[in-house]
Amino acid sequence: MGASIGDTAGGEAVGLEPMAVGWGGLVGTIGLAASAGAPVWVRAVAIIGAFLLGGFLSGVRTLDRRALTATAAWAFGWALWGVICIVLAIVAASGGPSDPEFAPGSDGAALLIAAGSLLAAAVGGMFAERRYSTRRLRRRY
């Protein structure tokens, strides 16, 4: 699948694939952006669902370390949402529309939603590992 972050000269270790991390994180960010302004429970469902799908898609895109790639996609998704919120805060400060809140609800609810989305991304990556792993091929007769 091409060069990836963490490749070694001897080919011993394969690291994270940037394209897989980017796609998975982008799907999670879309869930964060699409649910902005909605009630907390709607945001929770949308964010956790988006990161579940993003974790799965990042796991499908890579060949190895699918759960780790999905976790990195989760971190990238929240970081990308942070950058978007900063840009929108600058726009709001210069007279534009109001900016969305970074994390949904109170501090406790936001922490639970962030932890739930991390778990969902990892589960999505593990599901991709289970579904598409070449190490566990069995002969079926």
pLDDT tens figures, 44-87: 999 999 999 999 999 888 877 888 999 999 999 999 999 998 99
With respect to residue 13, please indicate whether it lies within any of the assigned structural domains: no
Asked if residue 40 is part of any domain, the answer here is yes
In angstroms, rounded to a whole number, what is the distance separating the alpha carbons of residues 15 and 110?
30
pLDDT value of position 36: 87
User: Does any domain span residue 60?
Assistant: yes
How large is the C-alpha radius of gyration of the chain? 17
In a domain, residue 44? The reply is yes
Structure tokens at 8: 């070694």
- Asked if residue 139 is part of any domain, the answer here is no
Residue 59 lies in domain: 18-130
Q: 58: closest CA among 49, 50, 66?
A: 66
- CA-nearest of 31, 33, 83, 79 to 57 is 31
Higher pLDDT, 106 or 73: 73
6 assigned to some structural domain: no
pLDDT in tens, 5-50: 555 445 555 578 889 899 999 999 999 999 988 899 999 999 999 9
pTM above 0.85, yes or no: no
